[in-house]
Amino acid sequence: MKKHNFNGFKITVIAILLASCAGQPTQDNTATNKVVTEKPPVTASVALTSDQQNQLFKAVDHLQNNEIKQAERILKSLFKKSANNQHVASNYAVLLYKTNKTQQAKKIAQTFMQNTLAQNLLGLIALDEQQIKQAENHFLTAIKHDNKNALAYYNAALIYDTYHQNIQQAVRFYENYLRLLGTEDKETQQWVEELKASL
């Protein structure tokens, strides 16, 4: 049986919009690190000005397009002004992680343990440190905080698939991921069918 693409662990990137209602995630189906933008309620943490919200959204767009320098310029500035905003801080932590500043990313993410993005990021960092059980706990906590976060299910599925080889549990997590994703992920759909056939 072939292994699913292990590098497929995904990072969620959260952007705040002025609107207060949550939107459906959109998926960038490129390469292995897929980046998702979610639109959570503005009331989730320390408020940002309209201009800061627009800057954060631009930074997320830059991250999605892998324009790291542009994202870094905006997020660094926002973080200096709004370090207590969980969305700014979590996105800045993702940027740090993507630029191999893992310990700084970890420190920031640990200050926002109730944030799904922070939990996903801490799970990725734990994987990098070969702390598989800790990574699993972070991904499961992310699901507990937001049971509609597709990528938290995907990360948990990869743990059960790759490390625990608990195919039934992996399939359940993959199916939740696919149901919640909002777009089609043919590669994962095909992999789930292969896993089901092996049961």
Tell me which residues of the chain have a pLDDT lower than 70: 1-46
Query: Domain limits of the chain?
Result: 6-146
CA atoms lying within 13 Å on the CB side of residue 109: 28
SS3 37: strand
Q: Tell me how far apart the alpha carbons of residues 36 and 105 are, in angstroms, rounded to a whole number.
A: 18
pLDDT of amino acid 164 = 95
The CATH architecture assigned to 6-146 reads: Alpha Horseshoe (1.25)
Cα(52)–Cα(81) distance, integer angstroms: 9
Integer Cα distance of 147 and 164 in angstroms = 22
pLDDT of residue 34: 38
CB 18 within 8 A of CB 50: yes
35-38: strand order across its sheet = 11-14, 35-38, 26-27
